[in-house]
Chain A
Amino acid sequence: TDYNDLYCLFTLVQFTKAGQFFSSGHTNNWAVLVCTSRFWFNYRHVANTLSVYRSVKRLGIPDSHIVLMLADDMACNYRNPKPATVFSHKNMELNVYGDDVEVDYRGYEVTVENFLRVLTGRLPPSTPRSKRLLSDDRSNILIYLTGHGGNGFLKFQDSEEISNMELADAFEQMWQKRRYNELLFIIDTCQGASMYERFYSPNLMALASSQVGEDSLSHQPDLAIGVHLMDKYTFYLLEFLEEVHPASQANMNDLFKVCPQSQCVSTPGHRTDLFQRDPGSVLITDFFGSVRKVEITKDTINLTSPVEPPIQRSGSGDIQIESLTYVDQLPVAEIIHQKPKQKDWHPPDGFILGLWTLILLVFFQTYGIKHLKHIF
C-alpha cells in the first residue's frame, strides 16, 4: 500500500542520515596534556598547556577524560604576584588557570616513566581513575607536549629526557593494544619536528611548532609578572581555537595554517602520511571536542521488575550496642606506664647467620662427624 511504501522510503532516508551521522570512527575523546618544565622562568610552558586544557574543556571533553600533567606549580608559586592565576595574554587579560582546574599529575610526578605508563596503560593497580588513560579502540586522543627540546629528544624537568624513538614505540604499543582509534600529536618545543620523525604506527597525525634546526620562540613578556607568558605557536593556536565552537566545521587544513612563518618566525610542520583519512575531512572537534553521538531509539523498553525498596533497619533490637566513649586525648598516667611494644620475631640477619655458621664450621672441624657420637 501507499502507506507502506512511504514508510519504507522514510526508513531508508533515516538510515542514510544515520550512516552519515556515524561516519567518523570514534565514540569518545581523550586528551593528554603535558608540561615538562620546572622553575618559574618556564611559566610559559605551563600557560601553553593550560590554554590547550581550557580550549579542550570548553569544547566539551570532561575532566574525567583529560590527563593533565604540570611539572611545576606556577599559579600558587610564591613569585606569582597574582596567586591562583596563570595568564596567557599580557596585561592579564585571560586567566587560563580558571576556577575549576583539576591537575592529575603535578610536580615531581611528571616523569618520563609516568608519561609512558599513562600512554601504554601499565600503571600500578592502586592508581586512581583520574590518573589513568582509559581509552579503547574507538577513542580519539589528543596529545600535547611542551617544554624544552632538541633534535630527537624532549627534556623532562631538567633532569631526564624522552627520545623520539621511545615515543614512537609507545605509540606502537598503544596501537597494538588497541588503545586509540586516531591520535593527534602536537608538540611545541625547539626542533619539535624531530619528535615525530620516527613514528610508524597507523592513524597518527602530528604537528610541531618548528622544524629541525629551528628554535621555537616565546611570545610576549608581561612586565608585572616578569616572565614570558606564552610561546608563539601556542598563542596563535589558542587564538585559532577560541574561534572554534562545538558545532564548527573547521578542519585540519585550517589547523596546519595556524602560525605561518611571518608570525611564528619558526616554520611549523606537520605529518599526515600515517593518517588514513584526508586531513581536509577531519574536523577540529574530532580531537579537540567531545561531540557525543546520540542514538535515538523508537522502541519502548520494559523494565522487568520493579525497584526493590531499601530494607528498613529495625530499631535498636538486633544491633549490638557497644558502650563506646571518647578516648582521653593525652592520658599522661597511661603513657608513662606504657609497656614497650613487643618486637616481632625476625629471622636472624646476615651478620648473625654468618657468625653462627662460622661457629658451627669450627665446631665440626674440631670435633668431626665421627666424634659426635661421643658427645651426643
Chain B
Amino acid sequence: MQWQSTDVEVNRSDGTKNSETFTPAPAKDQFQEELVIRPLHSGDIYASFQFRTLWDTDFLQEGQKKVSHYRLFPKSLGQVLSKFSVQELHISFTQGFWRTMQWGQPFIPSPPGAELWVWFHHTVSDVDGNWKELTNVLSGIFCASLNFIDMTNTVQPSASFKPLGLGNATDHRFLRYATLPREIVCTENLTPWKKLLPCGSKAGLAVLMKSEKLFHSSFHSQAVHIRPICQASFFSKSWELRQTLNVVFDHYTSGQGKKEWSLFKMFSRTLTEACPLASSSKVYVDITDNPEGELFELSPATPLLSQAVVLGDRRTYSVYDLTRAETFGQLRSFNLLLRWKGDSGDMLRPLLHAERYVAGFGLQTGEIHTVIYNNHPYRAFPVLLMDSVPWYLQLYIHTLTVTSKSRDNKPSYIHYQPAKDRHRPHLLEMLIQLPPHSMTEVTVQFERALLKWTEYTPDPNHGFYVGSSVISALVPSMVAMSTNFTQDQPLFSSFVPVKEESSYFVRVYTEPLLVNLPTPDFSMPYNVICLTCTVVAVGYGSFYNLLTRTFQVDEPSPPLAKRLANFIRRIRGVPLLA
C-alpha cells in the first residue's frame, strides 16, 4: 500500500472570505539571551543569565483576535496572562540570601523563598478571585507550593511596587503581593523554568544550567518577569518576558579554594553554539576592576568591549558574541577562563544596605529591629520601607520608633493596615528620609499569639517565618544615567525604567525572620485521655462498687459423691448430709 500525496488547493474564488492568499505574518517576536559574569572581591563569582522574549501582541483581546498561535513566547504563560487579565507578573524563587556588604548590589534583587507580585488590568472586577486562581495555576506550572498563598499572607501595598512596565493608572487596588519565605527551590522548579525557554536546555546559554552545580552555590535565584514595554519600531505595546537566573558560586565550596574560575568549573559544561532562535546571544565579563590586566587574566582574549551604566556606575565589559563562529575557536567549544593574579583589595561599600533581626527573650514578647544604612558621604535620600508581618505576631504600633543618629526621625508617610486574626497580615509602609552617612533603626514590639492546635505545621519547633522587608529607594548615582529607554542596551542594564539622570532605583531585601511561637506539647491530648480514664476508672469505679455492691453468702455446690448420697438418703427418708 502506498501513501498518496494529496494536494489541497486553496480556493481562489473572489468575493469570499477565504480568498486571501496565505502570507506568513512578519515575525513580531524576538529572543535574546545573555550571560554576565562579575568576579567579586571575595573570590566568589556572580553569574547572571537573562533571557528576553519580546512579542508584539495583545493578550487581553477576546474573540476573533484572541491570541492562539505561539512561537517563541511560551503558551502556558500566554494563556495565564489572557485568562486572568494580568498586566504585570513578577515571580521569583530564591535559595540563599544576597549578602550586599560582600557582593554589592545584584542586577535584579529577590528575597529568600518565593515572591509573587502581580498587577491586574483595570478591567478586572474580582481581583481577589483572580489572584487565588492565578496562584494555583502558577503552582502547577512551576511545581512549587504557591497554593499556600491566600488571604493570610497577601498584602496590597499602597506605595511600593509600582509597575515596571507601561501603564498610566496606578490604582493600587489592582496590585497584590505575597511572599513565601519557607519555599524550597530545587531541580523540580528549575525543570519547568527551563522548559519555558524557546530552545529549552538544548542549545544556547541554557545548556550551562545543570542543577547539580547551580544548587551547590551560595545564592541561587530564578525569576520570571512579564510586563508590557514600549518599542520604537511598533506602535502598540509589546509584551516582554524576562527569565533571569542569578547564581553566586562560593570560592571555597565550588572553587575548591583556588582563585581560578572557568565555565567548566562553574557549570560543568562549555558552550558549543548559540540558540538558533536567538537574535543575539552574548557573554559579558566585568573587567572594570582590571583595566590593565593586573588583577586577573581573562582568556580567550576578545577585542570587543562594551561600556554600560548599571546600578549608578559605569562598568566596562568584555563581550563574547556567540552568534559568531570565531568565538568558539578551533575546538568548537567556548570555555571562559579567569585566573587571579593579585589581591583585589577592598570593595566599594554599597550605598544602601539593610539588616533585620528579632530582639527580646522568651516566648511571649519580642521586638523587630530593622536597621538601614546610608553610606553616601553627603547625600540624603528617601527610602520606602514595606513590612508585611503575619497576624500571629501581634504588633504594637504605639511602640514604633524610627531613630537616625540617635534622634527621632519622623516618616513623611505612614500607611498601616492592622492584621485581622486568621484573615489578613499586618502591612506597614513608611517613607523615611535617610540622613547622609548614618544608620537608621526602626523598632516595633510584638506579642506572640497562641495558635489553635490544628494550625501548627508538622514541625512547629522549627519556627515560623516572617517575610523579608522590602526597601525601595532612589539612590544617587555616581554617573549620569541614560533616560532613553529604547536605546539598544544590554539586557542587564535595561530592566528598570530610568526617569531621571541623577539617581537610580534600587530595591533591597532584608533577611527573613524565624520566630518561635509558643508550641504546645502535642502528645498531651493522648496523655490527658489516658490519665483521665485511669482516674475515672479507679476513683469513680471504686466509689460505685462501694455504693451498689451487695454481698451474699453462696454455698459451693457439693461434689458428685455427696450429691448422689443425698439423693439416695432422700429416697430412704433419712436426714441429708451437710
Contact = CB atoms under 8 A, between A and B. Distances in A.
B11 A108 contact: no
A19 interface: no
Contact of B184 (A76, A85, A100, A127): A76
Contact of A131 (B23, B65, B140): B140
A85 B212 contact: yes
A325 B169 CA distance: 10
A365 to B, nearest CB: 36
B361 interface: no
A336 B413 contact: yes
Interface stretch (B143-151, B303-311, B347-355): B143-151
A242 interface: no
B384 A335 contact: yes
B235 A327 contact: no
Contacts of A158: 458-459
A84 B186 contact: yes
A106 interface: yes
B413 A100 contact: no
Nearest to B9: A306
Interface string B475-513: 000000000010000000000110100000100000000
Contact of B235 (A73, A131, A312, A316): A316
Given A106-B184, A329-B499, A306 B472 contact: no
Interface stretch (B129-137, B258-266, B527-535, B563-571): B129-137
Interface stretch (B101-109, B156-164, B363-371): B156-164
A336 B412 contact: yes
A319 interface: yes
Interface in A102-138: 102-109, 124, 126-131
Given A83-B216, A84-B215, A326 B186 contact: no
A329 B162 contact: yes
A371 interface: no
Contacts of B186: 73, 75-76, 84
B27 to A, nearest CB: 13
Secondary structure call for the B interface: loop
A327 B145 contact: no
Interface in B166-224: 166-168, 170, 182, 184-188, 191-192, 210-212, 214-216
Given A83-B215, A83-B216, A330-B505, A73 B184 contact: yes
Contacts of B538: none
A311 B19 CA distance: 12
Interface string A322-339: 111111111110011010
Contacts of B8: 303, 306
B294 interface: no
Contacts of B10: 306
Nearest to A320: B236
B436 interface: no
B269 to A, nearest CB: 12
A100 B162 contact: no
Given A73-B184, A84-B211, A130-B143, A327 B472 contact: no
Contact of B458 (A105, A157, A327, A331): A157
B132 A126 contact: yes
Q: How large is the interface on A (under 10, 10 to 19, 20 to 34, 35 or more residues)?
A: 35 or more
Contacts of A331: 162
Interface in B85-118: 95
Interface string A71-83: 0010110000011
B184 A102 contact: no
Contacts of B133: 126
B235 A319 contact: yes
Given A106-B145, A303-B8, A311-B65, A324 B237 contact: yes
Contact of B145 (A109, A326, A332): A109
B463 interface: no
Nearest to B212: A84
Contacts of A75: 186-187, 215
Interface string B442-473: 00000000000000011100000000000011
B505 A306 contact: no
B187 A335 contact: no
- Most chain B CB within a 10 A radius of its CB, from A85, A128, A306, A325: A128
Given A101-B188, A306-B10, A128 B211 contact: no
A39 B459 contact: yes
A159 interface: yes
Given A83-B216, A129-B140, A329-B505, A310 B457 contact: no
B55 to A, nearest CB: 13
B235 A321 contact: yes
Given A326-B485, A336-B431, A76 B95 contact: yes
Contacts of B485: 326
Given A39-B459, A310-B25, A326-B485, A338 B412 contact: no
Nearest to B172: A341
A348 interface: no
Shortest 7 CB-CB contacts between residues of A and residues of B: A128-B140, A76-B186, A326-B497, A309-B22, A126-B136, A157-B458, A84-B215
12 contacts: A38-B459, A76-B184, A82-B216, A84-B186, A102-B188, A106-B184, A109-B148, A124-B136, A131-B140, A159-B458, A310-B25, A310-B69
Interface of B: 1, 4, 6, 8, 10-11, 18, 20-23, 25, 64-65, 69, 95, 132-133, 136-137, 139-141, 143-145, 147-148, 158-159, 162-168, 170, 182, 184-188, 191-192, 210-212, 214-216, 228, 230, 235-237, 382, 384, 412-413, 415, 431, 457-459, 472-474, 485, 496-497, 499, 505, 522
Given A323-B168, A338-B158, 13 more contacts: A39-B459, A75-B186, A82-B212, A107-B182, A108-B457, A158-B459, A159-B522, A309-B22, A322-B168, A325-B166, A326-B165, A330-B472, A330-B474
